Chain A
Amino acid sequence: MVIKVKTENEKVHEWLKQQLEDCADIDDRELKAGDKKAKIIYLKSVTDSQIINRFIITPFYETKDTKEFMEYVVSFPAEMEPKDQHEALSQLLKGFVIIFAENKYVAFQAKKMAGSGVTEASAEVNVQGSPDALTENLEVNLNLIRHRYQTANLKVELKVIGSISQSAAGILYDSTKVDNDVLKELKKRLDSIEAEVLITAGELEQELSGRKFHIFPTVVVTERPDRLVKSIEQGKIVVMLDKTKFAIILPSIFQDFFAAMDDRIQLPLVGWFLKGIRYAGLIATLSLPAFYVAFAAYNPEILRVQLTLMIAGSRVPVPYPAVIEVLLMLIMVEFLIEASIRLPKTIGPTATTVGGLILGTAATEAGLVGNVMIILVSAVAITNFVIPINMMNFSVRVLRYAFLLLASLFGLVGIVLGFVGIVVYLSQVRSFGRPYFNILADTNSRKGIS
């Protein structure tokens, strides 16, 4: 937009400077060569100085006059013309350079990308699948998806969430396969988000799911582009948040959390076996401590005599009831896991080794816990990590204590009640209005019924 009165240009310049008072990273300089005159203003922290040198400052001194310079600048696709000073300010904050010359001002994109390049997946590792993970940059992520899903049906809609963080969220879906009710519902929920700052995909998941107290995640949070593409192909919707390495997939079903991306690489029989192992791991990690309590405290006669005697024998020096024993060890293992996640890589192994040794050998020798208990707790800790998606992992970790409580109150019956309760709970959970759990993974039979 050309501003007729010359002072207008200066006014805008003054206003911008005023707004960014006390910002140490602002750079406001005048370019001057003979008759040629121009002013540029930009934030050093978000702009790339090389771009500014190469595309703005050097051409300024090489062109004949300011008019030619402006024509040169305008020819770039990175150039934009702000409507008014407010837009100019927001562009300035995003990493644009505002150029004042020839009675008008234009914005020139010189964004500095502080994101990392495409790296290998770290939270969701697999053996033979593609190693790529998402990056912090939405455009790079879109690129990763588009390369794997080359059809015009792949639609990308952008929405801005968070009144201060101004995070861009990309909604990706295949227009021929998507469930339109879910899409509508998603947009409605995205619009109703009132958070000021939204940085991680996990926060977005919580804002979207609506319910405050739910134990199972209803959307998959993942960092793998291949998983995203697979989901889009199944008619699901992917929401990618700029500046995070994670995207969310919705609507999801319970079984999604137990599928790893290299399952399909394996031979079918092996794939089935691996899936079976994961569900067995789920049941084991949920119920082993509870079963121990039930067997030791309520129903020792269930097991065959040799086993019962062995458990009883290992508990001989233990001075408290089985529940306390289990609880003590489980909490110690939780501490160990928490500590080894947060510790720097150099200290991590030491801590776990020391912790493992103390918990394992010394505790049994001191008679604080039984031998069988140690084996059980380590089995529980290991089986927990069999579940491929992290969020489900953590849910299961919490649920284990509910089972422990039930077993300590009702014995064996409590565990059964717990499982029935979980089945009912799961079957009434909805992910964006779609059924979440069905043992045959047939959640389609109900489309259309509200």
Chain B
Amino acid sequence: MLNNRYFYYLLILNGLVNSVNFVPRILVNKNGSLIAIFVAVVIGTLMIIFTTKAMQSFPGKELPEILEPLFPKFINKGMILFFSLHWYLFGAITLVSLVDITHRFITPDVNRLMLAFGLLALVIFACQVESYSVLVSIETILIVNIPIFLYFIIKIFSNEFFSWDTIREVVTDAADMPHYTAIAAASFIFTGYINLVVFNRLFKDLKVKKIWIIAISGLLLLLAAYLIPIGINGIEGVKHQVYPWLTTADSNRIVFFIIERLLFIYYLFYITVAVAATVLYWHVGLRLLQTSFFKKTGKKFNIKNLLLLLIFVAGTFFLIQLDQFNFMKITDWFIRVRLISEVLLLLMLFYAVRRAKKA
């Protein structure tokens, strides 16, 4: 019943939030990233096509309901636990890096834990609302933010110090073998479709038309995410940056405006999009766990839900107290494992479709 445009918001949100944080850092640090980007576009597009097709055979159903007839109960529950961990981890990683960025670049006066507490309070409230409301919030945030993002991109390309020569150098050196981590990172941009495991319930006849637009815009986004920091910071210089895009934004100045540093415009965009993404991913993770482990009609729902959220919060605080090096290691591992789990999920969906067709 829900308008199909909400599906694209899932894709756009995921693309935007990933194209600026972890993905560029991994891409600029590996050789052969340009090839990896093209490979990732192919993989990502195929994943979108296959998963949406598979999901369409189960209109109005969630992942736990789809898996139910396939395997014995405990395997199902284990799988859901495994998959929902991905969603939780992604939300937590985004949140923690948001705390780090804010503390480092924007308000060093505010205590990190205090900041984390504020963000968590908002996210915990927001991730518990109805799925439809989550989609509406995402829509609002994207519609407000996309103009800011476009302004940001235009501003950077019009920077007189943007070095096209460096980019030419990158393109001519592209013949290296792509690294698996780079492919996994680049394909992360397309992962927004995966949220269908929960939102499929709301879409009655989802049809993804003009898939090539998604592929091309994903490619452009990846190229921008990879090349813009290089164009500003240089091939070697960018490797020293933990947040390549933030330093890129901070090296730009707006001359004729009330706000002087472009960083803040960028930060305004990034924080809202990142909070929305965290809300989305935690909502999906929470929903998956709720539907398979304790039903909303159950008596002890509130207590169990509260316990689950406490675990969410505790995990986040664990990540916050890690140092940057270990934290980055965790995110890199997450990005590598993620692609495999995605393929695994797709295979399971295929199996489910076959079983459903036979029956």
Contact = CB atoms under 8 A, between A and B. Distances in A.
Nearest to B256: A304
A417 B272 CA distance: 8
B236 interface: no
Interface stretch (A26-34, A102-110, A178-186, A432-440): A432-440
A410 B133 contact: no
A414 B136 contact: no
Interface stretch (B85-93, B115-123, B191-199): B115-123
Interface stretch (A87-95, A153-161, A328-336, A421-429): A421-429
A304 B132 contact: no
A445 B202 CA distance: 11
B207 to A, nearest CB: 15
Which has the most chain B C-beta neighbours within 10 Å: A299, A414, A417, A440? A417
Contact of B259 (A298, A304, A419, A442): A304
Contact of A424 (B107, B126, B257, B260): B126
Contacts of B348: none
Contact of A446 (B2, B106, B114): B2
Contacts of B261: 301-302
Contacts of B275: 416-417, 420
Nearest to A445: B3
B130 interface: yes
Contacts of A416: 268, 271-272, 275
B130 A413 contact: no
B1 interface: yes
Interface string A393-434: 000000000000010011111101101110110011000000
B114 A409 contact: yes
Which has the most chain B C-beta neighbours within 10 Å: A302, A420, A428? A420
Nearest to B263: A302
A114 interface: no
A358 to B, nearest CB: 30
B259 A440 contact: no
A304 B271 contact: no
Nearest to A446: B132
A439 B136 CA distance: 8
Nearest to A304: B260
Interface in A153-176: none
Interface in B246-273: 257-261, 264, 268, 271-272
A449 B202 contact: yes
A435 to B, nearest CB: 7
B17 to A, nearest CB: 13
A303 interface: yes
A304 B253 CA distance: 10
Interface in B261-305: 261, 264, 268, 271-272, 275-276, 279
B132 A410 contact: no
Given A440-B139, A448-B1, A410 B276 contact: no
A445 B132 CA distance: 10
Given A424-B126, A427-B140, A410 B110 contact: yes
Interface in B98-135: 102, 106-107, 109-110, 114-115, 118-119, 122, 125-126, 129-130, 132-134
22 contacts: A298-B110, A299-B106, A302-B261, A304-B257, A304-B259, A304-B260, A409-B110, A410-B114, A413-B107, A420-B272, A423-B137, A424-B122, A424-B134, A427-B132, A427-B134, A437-B140, A438-B139, A439-B139, A439-B140, A439-B144, A445-B1, A449-B202
Interface of A: 298-299, 301-305, 307, 406, 409-414, 416-417, 419-421, 423-424, 427-428, 435, 437-440, 442, 445-449
Given A298-B107, A302-B261, A427-B132, 12 more contacts: A307-B258, A413-B106, A419-B272, A420-B122, A421-B125, A424-B137, A427-B133, A428-B130, A435-B133, A437-B136, A439-B140, A445-B1
Name the 10 nearest CB pairs between A and B, nearest first: A427-B136, A428-B129, A428-B133, A424-B126, A304-B260, A427-B133, A411-B107, A439-B140, A445-B3, A424-B137
